[in-house]
A and B are shown apart, each in its own frame.
Chain A
Amino acid sequence: MQGIKRFINQLRAKSPWLLHFDCGSCNGCDIEILACLTPVYDVERFGIIHVGNPFHADLLLTSGTVNHRNKKVLANLYSQMPSPKIVVAIGACGLSGGIFREAYNVVGGIDKVIPVDVYVPGCPPKPEAIIDGVVLGLGKLQAPQERNGERKEA
């Protein structure tokens, strides 16, 4: 039984599907995430496919600050994803609220609402950094038992 589990975990990391949700970002991070999918950076060569349905996704890429209205949507999307799931927070706003942290409608970083596995800093991070973060997340997909609250920076 243990062997089968390990086998499935290894397979999972070979073709992870990702879901992208823009919380309250300025679009800077979103267009860099989209740029990752396009010919110059092309994450599809790693078997990564961008999906629109949370029920199909293994990875959740989020950018931007959480505000009072979208935190429900974010929590909802996270709960709809099947486990094991990896959350990658992208950009300074997703990490801590960034330049918007003092604004009145901002709750803070993504980790105020859902647990985050990989933090990718930058305003906005370059596509290389985002791919790096996703690959780091894939390592965690392969070994979900190591996840227990431990966090790494990309």
Chain B
Amino acid sequence: MREEIMAVSAEALVGEVAKLKVLGYRLVTLSCTELDASNLDILYHFDKDLGLKHLRLTAPKAAAVPSISPVYFAALLVENEIQDFFGLRFEGLVVDYRGTLYLEEEALKTPYCRFSLRSADQREGPAAALDAETNHPNAEKF
């Protein structure tokens, strides 16, 4: 990537984001990618005068990430989207759809997780995970 990327930890995240807001940055969006079975990579993209700046957070799937929507209201949709797609929990969301922003009950849970089909709530025990995998009509496609 051409632009600078700064690594942040989950504890320092909200502070860093608030600092950027004071500096006059606009939140563009968040991009989430699955790294392996237990970790997600979240990129926070910011923009100021057509220049981009990225923050990189490596988040374990099991732990909740602090939401930046109290700082940037615009983050609420994308954080809800990541909750839908990856089953990651964001703490302190302004409006929390609880994983139903896009997906209905019968749809695939956490569809963007290639390594497991478990959602955050079904994390207890391998049996629940197996259920989620076999019950879904589209599960065999991926």
Contact = CB atoms under 8 A, between A and B. Distances in A.
Contact of B141 (A67, A68, A104): A104
Contacts of B104: 68-69
Nearest to B106: A68
Interface residues on A, range: under 10
B100 to A, nearest CB: 9
B64 to A, nearest CB: 25
Contacts of A69: 102-104
B66 interface: no
B29 to A, nearest CB: 21
Interface in B99-121: 102-104, 106-108, 111
Contacts of A104: 107-108, 111, 138, 141-142
Interface residues of B, number: 10
A105 B103 contact: yes
A51 to B, nearest CB: 28
A105 B109 CA distance: 10
Interface in A57-79: 67-69
Contacts of A106: 138
A55 to B, nearest CB: 26
A22 to B, nearest CB: 16
Nearest to B107: A68
Interface string A93-107: 000000000101110
A105 B141 contact: no
Interface string A102-144: 1011100000000000000000000000000000000000000
Contacts of B106: 68
22 contacts: A67-B107, A68-B103, A68-B104, A68-B106, A68-B107, A69-B102, A69-B103, A69-B104, A102-B141, A104-B107, A104-B108, A104-B111, A104-B138, A104-B141, A104-B142, A105-B102, A105-B103, A105-B107, A105-B108, A105-B111, A105-B138, A106-B138
Interface of B: 102-104, 106-108, 111, 138, 141-142
Interface of A: 67-69, 102, 104-106
